[in-house]
Structure formats: structure tokens, C-alpha cells
């Protein structure tokens, strides 16, 4: 029936034109349509006809045919078949029977199978595909041409090289420019005509650059492009008259970019003495004429596979080869440069494979040529685990199956077009995705199937190359709407889902995702944002009667949502994948609106608010250890402790100083800590990609630095201003740092907002101040999802209401509040209390030396060193609190005792702690904070020197020592701080310098054998180490 629509039959004796004079004409009945296999009805060549400009025969590839002598039987058969090529299936069956009946004496005779000319080479062909980004200018055309030659002649290639073909897209942006020309013609045809000249001139400029001084190569191409330009101008005039753009016209004009591009690359190859020719796919590639798929489609979107007429395409390529090359084959194969994207229908109408269809062109011709591999040259190193623009830690995977690649394509991954994989699956051709700008990188190999019953024997399985990752990629569809049908009356009612899907189909809406409870009480579907209103109205109309009868029945729409999907064959039959996915999103403060998982276990999808999409992608990526866990950190307070913390973070960023082989480092080796903001009381610095601590603070703020030990932002600004610059310019000019910075007055609201970036899933605020005003913000920060680390005791030891508010927010959310460093520096005193209680132990009493400052003082005093002299020593070593009075009055110790008491369940205020001051009346003498050691302050302590020396001497005479002891007694529910005389053999009397000591008496650890913890507890270094430890504990919890 196809022949009837294309050809007429010659009179007897007429010879068939072309090289098929002795061939057998074959009728091919598509097996899918007829269910009869490949039925071929043959007739003598003398009776064959031809079509003007087309071949009517289908002679190649047939191993056997029915030989029909004489023309009369054929004529009878054609009359019986009829002329319609698009009739109903039953009509086609009747025609086939009529055709069979027309040859009652047919006999089956074998026909020798012949190879196509391109199949005569010893080495299989290899197909390459270059996209527009790889062909953006003349230099890139040369790069691609040189790459083709090097690949054909690579190590291990036969003497004649590897037969090589390349499918090319239009030059970068050319297709969009051609489309804009057509659209412009609707309103301004003269402007459109001028623009097509500009567009064509761009290609001509590239041509003249790649084939300089070769008019023999460039003149034919110039003439062809100018002819195309003149033809487009005529079309533009028609568009202006119609005031609309016919879909086929748009396809014809948009496809010219590929035609020009193929001619240009072929000209370059010839210019460097490579035998090359270009193939116009409009004359070779034949696809089904499907009016419903007219137009270009959306760039990069997944679409149904266009039907290819494989036999017709193969024969047309043979015809092209015959007309281009005198002999069937040469010793070395020519380079073929083939136009991507464009093709034709059986009737000869030019059309396209739709947007992103050049990938499909490459795999179609790879199948026709019998290629051994297809290489898709992109501007990335392969198929990435996520979009690197959204997830900074994304990386290319070494291999994946076709099923995984198609899932990624469906959910928005644009590296491979989904249709392109079908020919490679059918012919088992591996696809390599490689970087045209980094050809030495192996890229990603796409090959094999995922399900157990479809796996191929020769495919590789995942191994340690990709770390045994269960998830290969994390992708998303950004612009989605959720339509939900709900109603109590639907409980147990069959057919509700079917009616909803039919309603959506009736209004032309494609369903991307479905989420439904087993009771059908509610059904939710995800649709493209452009279809959401139509989908909402379609479902409402379908259930209009139910909604009128029962107000509980409702159809609702949630706008501005996105889908996040994790994809990988390794998820199959592997427990806890969903748990890890949802846990990662939950810890990143991302709300999950709907979920779905296919029975293949290859894909798990979640619908999230669009504003949280970037954070969700990063969190899921880190949750499956596909990338570093990124933490956004803001440090409030850049005094001695804050500055030392930055020093230690800078050291952490210096990987050369870390020993990765230790088990402890395995837990943090993929941790990316970005300090995005720092502030002191007056000024703050915000860094979009994090402060380069290693460059800025690694040396200038190191402990051994001779410079200032405190990062005073204001002083830093003054220093740079004196040099005729600004701090912002200094930061942005840091060598190796590509970042943006802003410096301004401290504003904690703006500071916190900046730290909470959507691109990083977790935000941490570290309060290194001693400010009650800053601590008062903790509940608000915790409620908003910030994690808080507070060596500042004004939070956990502030008003009981503040402490309770913070705990309330922590208990009802996934946020965390760490303040271990405020009690024991790097000793995990609070964590130890939690461990004891959570494991079922009962704490009776906690006593200890809570202040490293006072530990140093009472270890220092003697007959030769006075109390005030010991205080002076502690201050000079940086061991004291910023306000010196806090140590001497016992307030600092009392706050630490209060924190322990509250963690043990005592609801106490600071004034409930019984405190023995070391210097009575000190507040009356010094009512204002004492922020530095002065002679006036030391003179004020002179009266206490004699009193404390007397107590020390008395204690020494009894074989005892003085120590300032804090205690929490759970039996009496009291907390106290007192100066006590202890026997020299007491545990607390063995401490040295500024050590802390804590003794726990519990049900398990009696007073005879208490649990004792001791270690350094004063100074910026150990305090900063405690803060850093709190931060690492926090991150481990987030990653668990």
C-alpha cells in the first residue's frame, strides 16, 4: 500500500532506473501493525516502477521473498490493495490478503543478503555528536574537527583509521535565532529579512575562518547558504500575509542551522586534507508523518519516540553513497558529517526530530551504520550526579544503565535525550558522554539494562568505581503544580482514580507523578505548571456532581512546587533508601508535600515547595554521600575565642595538615564548612561563597602570628583605608578567591538571613559573645531552623524562661542547640550527662572545679604569690572572662553550675545558686564591667589578698589546699559555689595549671569510685576547640 501512494507501474519491458535494475522489489508489512512478521512480496525487476525523485523499491536486507512472475498479477494486486496509506487496521489486513491472492502461484526463493557499502570496512564505524555549545564559534569548529581526526586515529586504531561519522547541531544559539526570525515576520517582515541576513552572515564568518583562502571549499557553501537565505525571505513574506507561523514552516527554517553547520565542519575537514563529505539528513532520514507532533517542542524535554522508517532510511543512504563515491568502498572510510535534528516524511515534506533531537539523529545513524559506539560530546565531563549549577558537589559517574539515563531524562536531566537511547538499546550500542573541552576524561558510559530479566550478559555491573552508590543521580522538575481530589465519600469507592485520569486526559494534561492512599480518600497528581489551571478545571468538571452533593468533596491546587527525584539501580531491594532520602530533606528543613515510588525501585520522588528546591537537592545529594555535606556558618563575636575558632577552621580547610587514613577522619572528610558571615559588635562581613579562611586567617591570625590576636573588623578597615583601598576590595582581590563580599554595620537580622542560603541545606549560628541581647534571639533562630552553638553562657544560664523556650523549639523541630563548650570547653560534660541519663543511670551529685581561671589562680597562690598577683597572671595569659569581675565574684562558675543543674532537671534561676564571693563588696567598688586589667582594679583587690592568704596558710597547716568548688546535689536539689579546703590527696588537688575537674556520683558510680573527668578548661584555644567539637557533633547528627 505504501508503494501505491508513491509510484506508478511501467508498461511491460520498462527498465528500472538506477542500480536496482536487477533487484527485487519488496513490500514491507510492519509487524507491529499486522502481527504477521516481515512479509515481503517480490516482483521481477522488469516490472518495477520508480517515483520521480524517489526510489520505490525496498530491495536490501531481505533474506527471502515471494517471486511473482509477470506484471498482471502485480496490477491486480495493486488494484485490490487500493490507494489509501492511512486506512483502518482491518482494511490493511484485507489489502494484504488481496495482495497475497493476486499471486496464487508464488514460490519462495532465497535472495542473497548483500552488505551496504559502509559495512565493507573491517573496523566498525564510530558515531560522534556535537551540540551547539561545542560549535559556538570558528575556534570550536576547529576543535571538534581536530577531535574527530584524533579519535579516528587514536592508539589501537587500524592502519586506515576508524570509520568515523559525526552528527552536528546548529552553531550555538543559531536555532533560537532562526526561530526568532520567523516569529518576527508576523509583525515586521522587513526587520525579519534583515535579521536573517545577520544570522546567515554569522555562519558565513565562521566558514571563512575555518577554511581560509580556500574558495574551492567555501564558494559552494556560500552559494548554498545564500540560496537558503533567499528562500527564507520568500517564506517570511508569506508569514506576514498569514499573520501566523505554520508549524511546518517553523521546522523548515529552524532546521537550516544544522544544514549550514554540517557544511561548515565538512569544509574544515577538507581544508586540513581529510576526506570528508556532508550528508543532508532531509534527503536520507525518513520518519512517520505525525501531524500531532508538528512544531519544535520544548528544549530538553522528554517526548514520545518518533517512528523511523529504517529500511527507507538505509536505502536512501545507500543511494547517497552511490552518487557520492565512485566505488562501493575505499581503503579508508571517508569522514561523514551529518545534519542533526532535520529529517523528512515519506511524502518528502521536511520536518524535524524536535528540540534536542540531534542526539536522536546521532543514534539513528549509528544504528544504520552499524556503529560500535556513540560519543555525545558535551561541555561537561559526563552525566553528573546532579545539576552542578544547583549542587556544587555534583560529579560525573563512570557508568549507568539506559534505564537510569532515561529516568534522569524524564525528570529534567538534559545530558541525554530520552528518544536517543532507543536505537542504541535496540542495537546494543554503548553511549559515551564526554567533554569536548576535556577529551582526556573518560566521561560516562551508558550501557545495559536495569531489571534482572532485561540485563544483558555483556554489561558491566556497578563496583567500587562509583563507590557502590545506591543512587546514581538526583534531579528535579522545577515548575510543577499539584492537583488533589479528596473526599470522605470516596473511601473504598472503585474507579475514582480512573475517572480523574480520564478527566485530565480529556483536557490534554499529562500527569507527571501520582500519589494516592490505598483508600482513595485523596488522590494527588503533579502536572506541568502551564497545565495546572486546565487540570484543576477538568477535574472539577468531572466531579461536579459529587462536589455539589457533598461539601467535603474538594478539588484543590497547590502552586509553585517542584519534584525532587533520586534515581539509581542500586536502590532496588535495598532497605532504608527512602528513609535516608526523606531524613535528609527533613534535616534540611524541607517540607515534603507528596511522595511517589515506582515498583521498579529505580526512582523515588518527592514534591517540595519550589523555594526549597535548591536546598532539597543539596541535602539529598549529601544524604547519599554523593558530595560533601555543606554547612553554612555565621560567627558572632570575633574576639579572642571567635578569632581562634577561625584559625582552627582554617587549619581544618587545609587538607595537607590532615591525616585521612585515621578512622576518626572518615566521619568528617566530606564536610564542607563555609563561614559565610562574621561580625563583631560594630561591623560585619558577608561572603557569598564563604570567607577564604585559609588565605585570610591561616597566617595573619595564627597563634604564632606577631600581629593582633583579635580580628577587629573596624581596625582592619582602617588599615586598608590608610593604604588607599577598602576591606571589600581587599577581600575580592584575594588571590585564587572568586567571591563577592559586603562589609557593613552589624545587623543581626540581616546577618542571620544571609547565613540561611537556599543553596546550602544546613545553617549554623555560633555565638562567641557574652551578650544577653544576642542570647535572647536563640528561640527565634531555633524556630526558623537555625542550629545554634553557644559558648555564650547567657543563653543556657540566662533566665529560666529563655532556657525553656529554647528547649521547646529544639524538642518540636529538627534544630539543635549545643553549649558543651560553655561548661567544659572541649570536655563533653553536657554530652556525658545526657549519656548517663539516657542509659538509665541516676545522678546523685555533680561537684567540681568549673572555672579554669580560678583553677589557675588557686594553683598559683602561695606564700610568695598573692591572690591579686595570681589574677594578674591569669589575665595576662588570656584565661579570664572578658569582664574580670565575673570570675572573682563567682558568677562565671555559678552559671556553669546552673547549666548542669538545669540539664539534670532542676528548674533554677541564677539567683537560686548559692555563691560565696571571693571578694565581698567588689560590685560596690566596680559597678561597671572591668574589661581590662588596670592598677586601680588590682589595688581594689588588695584587701582580699590578706584574707585569702590567711585561709591558704591555715589550710596548708592542716595538709589541705584551697579550691573554688561548684556543686549540684540532686538529693537536696541545691546548687552552690563555695571556697573549700580539700585534703591534698583529693582528686581535685591533683589538677595543674588551669585544668577543670568534674566528679559524678551516680547509681552506677558510687562515692567510693566516682566518675571523674578532668582537663584544660580556660583560654581561647581550648574554648574554640570545644566550639569546633560542638560543630562536628552537630554535623555528624545531621548526616546520620
Spot the catalytic one: 896, 925, 950, 984: 896
Q: How far is CA 150 from CA 53, 157, 264, 797, in A?
A: 38, 10, 19, 71
**C-alpha triplet 380, 382, 383: angle, nearest 5°:** 110
Helix (H, G, I), strand (E, B) or coil at 963: strand
What does the alpha-carbon distance between residue 867 and residue 438 come to, in Å, rounded to a whole number?
70
177 vs 199: CA distance, rounded Å: 7
Spatial CB neighbours of 273, under 8 Å, sequence gap ≥ 6: none
Residues 381 and 398: their CA atoms lie apart, in Å, by 10
Burial readout 756-772 (b: 16 or more C-beta within 10 A, e: otherwise): bbebbbbbbbbbbbbbe
d(CA 386, CA 395): 7
896 is catalytic: yes
Backbone angles phi, psi at 636, to 5 degrees: -100, 115
Quick one: which of 174, 149, 537, 95 has its CA closest to 339?
A: 174
Specify the 3-state DSSP secondary structure of 597: strand
User: Residue 311 corresponds to which cell in the numbers above?
Assistant: 529500511
Does residue 910 contact residue 894 with C-beta atoms inside 8 Å? yes
For the record, the C-alpha cell of 988 comes out as 581535685
Nearest to 638 by CA among 673, 683, 674: 683
d(CA 61, CA 312): 11
CB 167 within 8 A of CB 366: no
d(CA 204, CA 199): 9
- Three-state SS letters, 789-822: ECCCCCCCCCCHHHHHHHHHHHHCCCCCEECCHH
Alpha carbons 598 and 603: distance in angstroms, whole number? 6
**Cβ-count burial of 837 within 10 angstroms (0-12 exposed, 13-18 middle, 19+ buried)?**
middle
DSSP of 479-541: EEEEEEEE-GGGTT-TTHHHHHHHHHHHTT--EEEEEE-TT-SEEEEEEEGGGHHHHHHHHHH
**Edge-first strand listing for the sheet containing 511-516:** 511-516, 522-528, 473-486, 554-567, 603-609, 594-597
519-533 burial string, b = 16+ CB within 10 Å, else e?
ebbbbbbbbbbebbe
Query: Which segments of 654-726 does DSSP mark as H helices, in order?
Result: 663-666, 693-696, 713-722
Residues whose CB falls within 8 Å of the CB of residue 505, separated by 6 or more in sequence, listed in order: none
Q: Which residues are within 8 A (CB) of 521 and not within 5 positions of it... i.e. 6 or more apart?
A: 486, 487, 488, 490, 491
Residue 828 exposed, middle or buried by CB count within 10 Å (0-12, 13-18, 19+): buried
Rounded CA separation 5/54 (Å):
12
Alpha-carbon Rg for the chain in angstroms: 39
Q: What are phi and psi of 941, to 5 degrees?
A: -90, -5
The grid cell for 115 is: 552488505
C-alpha distances in Å from residue 569, one per residue of 181, 408, 443: 45, 12, 19
Q: Hunting for cell 503533579 — which residue is that?
A: 526
Which residues carry out catalysis?
896
Amino acid at each position: 500500500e505504501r508503494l501505491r501512494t508513491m509510484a506508478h507501474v511501467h508498461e511491460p519491458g520498462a527498465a528500472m532506473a538506477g542500480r536496482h535494475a536487477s533487484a527485487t522489489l519488496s513490500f514491507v508489512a510492519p509487524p507491529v501493525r499486522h502481527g504477521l512478521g516481515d512479509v515481503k512480496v517480490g516482483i521481477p525487476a522488469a516490472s518495477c516502477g520508480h517515483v520521480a525523485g524517489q526510489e520505490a523499491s525496498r530491495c536490501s536486507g531481505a533474506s527471502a521473498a515471494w517471486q511473482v512472475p509477470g506484471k498482471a498479477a502485480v496490477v491486480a494486486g495493486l488494484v485490490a490493495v487500493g490507494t489509501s496509506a492511512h486506512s483502518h487496521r482491518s482494511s490493511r489486513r484485507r489489502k494484504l490478503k488481496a495482495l497475497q491472492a493476486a499471486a496464487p502461484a508464488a514460490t519462495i526463493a532465497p535472495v542473497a543478503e548483500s552488505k551496504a557499502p559502509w559495512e565493507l570496512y573491517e573496523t566498525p564505524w564510530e558515531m560522534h555528536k556535537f551540540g551547539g555549545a561545542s560549535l559556538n564559534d570558528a575556534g570550536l569548529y576547529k576543535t571538534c574537527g581536530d577531535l574527530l581526526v584524533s579519535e579516528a586515529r587514536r592508539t589501537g586504531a587500524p592502519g586506515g583509521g576508524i570509520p568515523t561519522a559525526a552528527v552536528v547541531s546548529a552553531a550555538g544559539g543559531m536555532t533560537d535565532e532562526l526561530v526568532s526570525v520567523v516569529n518576527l515576520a508576523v509583525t515586521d517582515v522587513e526587520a525579519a529579512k534583515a535579521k536573517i541576513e545577520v544570522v546567515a552572515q554569522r555562519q558565513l564568518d565562521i566558514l571563512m575562518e575555518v577554511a581560509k583562502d580556500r574558495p574551492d571549499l567555501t564558494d559552494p557553501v556560500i552559494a548554498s547558504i545564500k540560496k537558503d537565505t533567499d528562500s527564507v525571505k520568500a517564506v517570511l513574506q508569506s508569514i506576514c500575509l498569514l499573520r501566523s507561523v505554520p508549524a511546518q514552516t517553523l521546522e523548515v527554517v529552524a532546521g537550516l542551522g544544522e544544514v549550514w553547520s554540517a557544511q561548515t565542519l565538512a569544509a574544515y575537514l577538507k581544508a586540513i586534507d581529510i576526506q570528508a563529505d556532508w550528508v543532508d539528513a532531509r534527503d536520507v532520514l525518513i520518519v512517520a508523518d505525525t501531524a500531532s507532533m508538528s512544531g519544535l517542542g520544548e528544549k530538553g524535554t522528554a517526548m514520545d519516540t518518533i517512528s523511523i522508517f529504517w529500511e527507507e532510511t538505509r536505502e536512501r543512504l545507500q543511494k547517497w553513497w552511490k552518487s557520492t563515491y565512485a566505488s562501493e568502498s575505499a581503503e579508508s572510510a571517508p569522514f561523514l558529517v551529518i545534519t542533526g535534528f532535520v529529517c523528512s516524511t515519506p511524502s518528502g515534506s521536511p520536518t524535524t526530530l524536535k528540540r534536542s533531537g540531534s542526539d536522536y539523529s546521532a543514534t539513528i545513524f549509528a544504528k544504520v551504520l552499524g556503529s560500535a559506539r556513540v560519543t555525545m560530546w558535551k561541555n561537561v565531563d559526563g552525566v553528573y550526579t546532579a545539576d552542578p549549577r544547583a549542587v556544587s558537589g555534583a560529579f560525573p559517574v563512570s557508568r549507568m544503565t539506559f534505564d537510569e539515563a532515561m529516568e534522569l531524562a524524564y525528570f529534567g536531566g538534559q545530558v541525554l535525550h530520552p528518544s536517543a537511547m532507543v536505537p542504541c538499546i535496540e542495537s546494543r550500542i554503548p553511549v559515551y558522554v564526554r567533554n569536548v573541552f576535556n577529551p582526556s576524561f573518560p566521561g560516562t558510559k551508558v550501557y545495559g539494562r536495569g531489571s534482572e530479566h532485561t540485563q544483558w550478559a555483556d554489561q558491566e555491573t556497578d563496583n567500587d568505581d562509583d563507590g557502590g552508590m545506591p543512587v546514581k543521580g538526583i534531579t528535579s522538575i522545577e515548575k510543577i503544580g499539584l492537583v488533589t481530589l479528596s473526599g470522605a465519600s470516596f473511601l473504598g469507592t472503585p474507579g475514582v482514580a480512573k475517572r480523574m485520569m480520564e478527566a485530565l486526559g480529556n483536557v490534554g494534561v499529562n500527569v507527571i507523578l501520582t500519589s494516592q492512599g490505598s483508600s482513595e480518600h485523596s488522590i494527588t497528581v503533579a502536572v506541568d505548571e502551564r497545565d495546572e489551571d486546565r487540570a484543576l478545571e477538568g477535574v472539577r468538571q468531572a466531579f461536579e456532581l459529587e462536589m455539589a452533593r457533598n461539601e467535603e468533596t474538594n478539588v484543590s491546587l497547590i502552586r509553585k512546587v517542584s519534584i525532587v527525584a533520586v534515581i539509581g539501580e542500586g536502590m532496588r531491594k535495598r532497605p532504608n533508601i527512602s528513609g535516608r532520602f526523606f531524613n535528609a530533606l527533613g534535616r534540611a528543613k524541607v517540607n515534603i508535600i507528596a511522595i511517589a515510588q515506582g515498583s521498579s525501585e529505580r526512582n523515588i520522588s518527592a514534591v517540595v515547595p519550589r523555594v526549597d528546591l535548591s536546598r532539597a537537592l543539596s541535602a539529598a545529594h549529601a544524604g547519599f554521600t554523593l558530595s560533601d555535606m555543606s554547612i553554612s556558618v555565621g560567627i558572632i563575636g570575633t574576639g579572642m575565642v571567635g578569632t581562634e575558632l577561625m584559625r582552627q577552621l582554617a587549619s581544618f580547610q587545609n587538607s595537607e595538615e590532615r591525616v585521612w587514613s585515621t578512622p576518626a577522619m572518615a566521619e568528617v572528610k566530606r564536610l564542607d564548612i563555609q563561614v559565610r558571615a562574621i561580625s563583631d559588635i560594630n561591623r560585619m562581613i558577608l561572603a557569598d561563597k564563604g570567607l577564604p579562611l585559609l588565605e585570610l586567617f591561616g597566617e595573619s591570625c595564627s597563634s604564632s602570628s606577631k600581629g593582633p590576636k583579635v580580628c577587629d573588623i573596624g581596625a582592619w578597615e582602617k588599615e586598608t583605608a590608610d593604604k588607599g583601598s577598602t576591606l571589600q576590595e581587599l577581600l575580592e582581590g584575594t588571590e585564587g578567591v572568586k567571591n563577592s563580599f559586603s562589609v557593613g554595620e552589624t545587623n543581626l537580622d540581616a546577618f542571620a538571613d544571609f547565613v540561611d542560603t537556599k543553596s546550602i541545606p544546613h545553617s549554623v549560628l555560633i555565638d562567641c559573645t557574652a551578650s544577653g541581647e544576642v542570647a535572647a534571639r536563640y528561640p527565634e533562630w531555633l524556630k526558623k531552623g537555625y542550629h545554634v552553638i553557644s559558648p555564650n553562657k547567657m543563653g543556657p544560664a540566662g533566665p529560666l524562661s529563655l532556657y525553656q523556650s529554647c528547649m521547646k523549639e529544639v524538642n518540636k523541630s529538627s534544630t539543635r542547640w549545643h553549649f558543651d563548650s560553655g561548661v567544659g570547653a572541649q570536655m563533653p560534660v553536657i554530652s556525658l550527662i545526657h549519656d548517663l541519663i539516657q542509659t538509665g543511670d541516676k545522678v546523685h551529685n555533680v561537684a567540681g572545679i568549673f572555672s579554669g581561671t580560678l583553677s589557675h589562680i588557686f594553683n598559683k597562690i602561695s606564700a610568695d604569690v598573692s591572690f591579686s598577683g595570681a589574677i594578674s597572671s591569669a589575665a595576662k595569659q588570656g584565661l579570664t572572662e572578658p569582664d574580670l569581675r565575673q570570675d572573682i565574684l563567682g558568677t562565671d562558675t555559678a552559671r556553669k553550675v546552673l547549666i548542669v543543674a538545669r540539664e539534670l532537671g532542676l528548674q533554677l534561676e541564677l539567683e537560686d545558686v548559692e555563691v560565696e564571693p571571693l571578694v565581698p563588696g567588689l560590685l560596690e567598688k566596680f559597678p561597671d564591667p572591668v574589661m581590662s586589667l588596670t592598677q586601680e582594679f588590682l589595688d581594689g583587690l588588695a584587701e582580699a589578698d590578706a584574707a585569702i592568704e590567711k585561709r591558704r596558710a591555715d589550710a596548708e597547716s592542716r595538709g589541705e589546699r584551697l579550691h573554688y568548688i561548684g556543686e549540684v546535689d540532686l538529693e537536696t536539689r541545691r546548687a552552690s559555689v563555695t571556697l573549700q579546703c580539700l585534703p591534698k590527696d583529693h582528686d581535685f588537688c591533683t589538677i595543674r595549671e588551669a585544668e577543670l575537674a568534674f566528679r559524678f556520683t551516680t547509681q552506677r558510680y558510687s562515692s567510693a569510685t566516682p566518675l571523674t573527668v578532668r582537663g584544660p578548661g580556660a583560654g581561647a584555644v581550648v574554648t574554640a576547640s570545644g566550639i569546633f567539637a560542638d560543630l562536628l557533633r552537630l554535623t555528624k547528627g545531621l548526616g546520620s
